[in-house]
């Protein structure tokens, strides 16, 4: 599928969920605007580069998943896995083996991040071996 079609799909998802799309490195943010009259407005914004291929397409869907997908209130590794599940579910195309493995490397980097911080006073949560997180990671890395 052409990158223009994939980019259009990202734009349509943003419109459907009232997400402002901005240029930038992959990042999802909730912007809170305080008005002088005391009102607080909440806007969803995703900063993503233009879709050039499958990887950037899945990264864009992943960032949208952080804002509107299931599992947004979980712990860090759970939130990352939930956003990747959203991306895989919403995608118009199946990821190629190379794209799937690149997604796996990104998710694995969060496991490495958590493992390096296990000796902290409040270490990050690493899901137990029976958690579906590991099944997703194994599928992405195969």
For residues 70, 72, 73 and 77, what is the CA-based torsion angle, rounded to 10 degrees? Answer: 100
Higher pLDDT, 30 or 136: 136
Dist. CA 97–CA 135, nearest whole Å: 17
Q: pTM of the full predicted structure?
A: 0.92
Residue 131, phi then psi, degrees to nearest 5: -70, 145
11-56 pLDDT, tens digit each: 999 999 999 999 888 898 988 899 999 999 999 999 998 999 999 9
- Contact between 10 and 57 under an 8 Å Cβ cutoff? The reply is yes
Q: How far does Cα 45 stand from its chain's mean position?
A: 13
102-128 pLDDT, tens digit each: 999 999 999 999 999 999 999 999 999
- Residue-level pLDDT at 26: 83
Tell whether the model's pLDDT for residue 64 goes beyond 90. Answer: yes
Dist. CA 94–CA 8, nearest whole Å: 17
86-105 pLDDT, tens digit each: 999 999 999 999 999 999 99
Q: How many CA atoms lie within 13 A of 45 on its CB side?
A: 13
Q: How many residues does the chain have?
A: 142
- Residue-level pLDDT at 63: 96
- Contact between 72 and 79 under an 8 Å Cβ cutoff? The reply is yes
């Amino acid at each position: 599928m052409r990158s223009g079609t994939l980019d259009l799909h990202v734009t349509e998802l943003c419109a459907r969920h009232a997400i402002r799309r901005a240029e930038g490195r992959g990042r999802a943010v909730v912007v809170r605007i305080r008005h002088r009259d005391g009102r607080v407005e909440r806007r969803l914004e995703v900063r993503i580069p233009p879709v050039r291929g499958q990887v950037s397409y899945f990264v864009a869907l992943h960032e949208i998943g952080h804002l509107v997908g299931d599992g947004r209130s979980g712990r860090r590794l759970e939130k990352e896995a939930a956003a990747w599940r959203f991306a895989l579910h919403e995608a118009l195309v199946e990821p190629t083996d190379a794209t799937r493995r690149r997604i796996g490397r990104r998710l694995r980097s969060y496991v490495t991040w958590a493992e390096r911080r296990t000796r902290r006073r409040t270490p990050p949560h690493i899901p137990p071996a029976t958690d579906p997180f590991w099944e997703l990671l194994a599928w992405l890395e195969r």
